[in-house]
């Protein structure tokens, strides 16, 4: 209950303060390329329930829907505005809506698409999905270079499934077991520092 109140208070405040910037980003996206402002995709949330995540659209409309699930390095599907939005993680800001709706938390394991959740080992699945997914978490901070790592791999899909995903799952399970409001606050402060340094 305390974590949910924390999410509602700080998520609502952040959404209010960032609303003018969000409107400017929305206008930029509309001017930069054809298509909607938001990208929505099915993700798996707490206890395995699916929801549709909100992001600012960063890919061309003709390629975003039917392309690979993984974004690898300098993906040609990414728009001009999208490159900046991704580099500074601004594309994630609309997930504050998902936080207020209760589908996500400010801090928690990043939500995956059903395809990759189906690969979770049973021993880790229950632990990782026992908490709400988050906008940021210690694992996503450690794997900020994921796109570049995948770009260097001979087979990005295999690299993700066999190397990156298992490491992320171990970290997500550890977070789920030990998270407190204090550790969440520390992760948020660290995330802000990373964003400002980008």
Backbone phi, psi, residue 7, to 5°: -60, -45
The pairing of beta strand 105-107 with beta strand 134-136: parallel
The dihedral sign for the CA sequence 112, 114, 119, 122: positive
For the chain, 198 residues long, the average pLDDT of each consecutive 10-residue run is 92 95 96 94 96 95 63 81 92 97 97 95 92 95 85 88 93 93 94 83
- Provide, for the chain, the percentages of residues in helix, strand and coil under a 3-state DSSP scheme, each rounded to the nearest 5: 60, 10, 30
Q: Exposure of 169 by Cβ count < 10 A (0-12 exposed, 13-18 middle, 19+ buried)?
A: buried
What is the three-class DSSP state of 31? helix
For 50-64, what is each residue's pLDDT tens digit?
Answer: 999 999 999 987 654
Cα(50)–Cα(63) distance, integer angstroms: 23
**Domain locations in the chain?**
2-197
pLDDT value of position 162: 93
What is residue 62's predicted lDDT score, i.e. its pLDDT? 66
CA distances from 192 to 17, 89, 163, 185 (A): 15, 10, 27, 11
Q: What is the pLDDT of residue 156?
A: 86
- pLDDT of 149: 87
């Amino acid at each position: 209950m305390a974590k949910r109140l924390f999410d509602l208070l700080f998520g609502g405040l952040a959404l209010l303060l960032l609303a003018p910037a969000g409107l400017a980003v929305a206008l930029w996206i509309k001017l930069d390329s054809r298509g909607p402002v938001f990208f929505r995709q099915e993700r798996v949330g707490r206890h395995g329930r699916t929801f549709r995540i909100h992001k600012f659209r960063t890919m061309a409309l003709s390629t975003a829907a039917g392309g690979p699930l993984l974004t690898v390095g300098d993906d040609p599907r990414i728009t001009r505005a999208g490159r900046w939005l991704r580099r500074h993680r601004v594309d994630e800001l609309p997930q504050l809506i998902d936080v207020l709706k209760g589908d996500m938390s400010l801090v928690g394991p990043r939500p995956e698409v059903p395809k990759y959740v189906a690969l979770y080992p049973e021993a880790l699945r229950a632990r990782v999905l026992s908490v709400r997914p988050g906008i940021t978490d210690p694992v996503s901070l450690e794997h900020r270079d994921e796109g570049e790592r995948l770009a260097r791999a001979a087979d990005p899909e295999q690299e993700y499934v066999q190397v990156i995903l298992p490491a992320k799952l171990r970290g997500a399970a550890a977070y789920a077991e030990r998270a407190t409001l204090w550790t969440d606050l520390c992760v948020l402060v660290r995330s802000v520092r990373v964003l400002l340094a980008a």
